Amino acid sequence: MVDLERLLPALSEGGVEFIIVGGVAAIVHGSARLTVDLDIVYRRNPDNIVRLATVLKPFAPYLRGAPPGLPFRWDAETIQRGLNFTLETSAGPLDVLGEIAGGGTYETLIPHSRKLSVFGIECYCLGLDRLIQAKRDAGRPKDLEVIAELESLREE
């Protein structure tokens, strides 16, 4: 289970530009579903990548599902060469995404996001309409299952 009370302050105080997406965003909008990880879309500019690498390093990020001992270095160069990372950290599972299904980058998603207080931390969270679209675009069974609930929340 992800420890949002550790990760969110670290990201925010470290100046990382990010948007909460995925299950935590659904919960922020009122979903009753449980999620075990935090999904964020991060701005892919050099300064933000350095901040992201620096902030997460104390959490010992490692590729989720990778065999133990597989060489993996979490630094700005690794992030720059990659795009999306599914990580296990000392604060729980974290998906660090440069882009989500349907072409959602930080720059394209920020106009569809709102600044909200999540566990007392002011951060951007993907808006309900765009979250529903992102779930549709992802097309995974678990994403499709939550769409009806999110649409009901939108109608309320």
DSSP result, 43-78: --SHHHHHHHHHHHGGG--EETTPPTT-----SHHH
Asked whether 42 and 96 are in contact (CB, 8 A), the reply is yes
Beta-bridged to residue 85, according to DSSP, are 96
pLDDT at 4: 95
Exposure string over 95-132, b if 16+ CB within 10 A, otherwise e:
bbbbbbeeebbbeebeebbeeeebeebebbbbbbebbb
Between 110 and 137, the more confident residue is: 110
pLDDT at 79: 98
Judged against a pLDDT cut of 90, whether residue 105 lies above it is answered with yes
pTM above 0.75, yes or no: yes
Judged against a pLDDT cut of 90, whether residue 34 lies above it is answered with no
Burial class of residue 76, CB neighbours in 10 A (0-12, 13-18, 19+):
middle
Judged against a pLDDT cut of 90, whether residue 145 lies above it is answered with no
CA angle, residues 71, 75, 77, in degrees to nearest 5: 95
Burial class of residue 156, CB neighbours in 10 A (0-12, 13-18, 19+):
exposed
Judged against a pLDDT cut of 90, whether residue 113 lies above it is answered with yes
pLDDT tens track for 74-102:
999 999 999 999 999 999 999 999 999 87
pLDDT at 112: 96
**Average pLDDT taken over every residue of the chain:** 94
Quick one: what percent of the chain has pLDDT higher than 90? 77
pLDDT tens track for 45-58:
999 999 999 999 99
Beta-bridged to residue 87, according to DSSP, are 63, 94
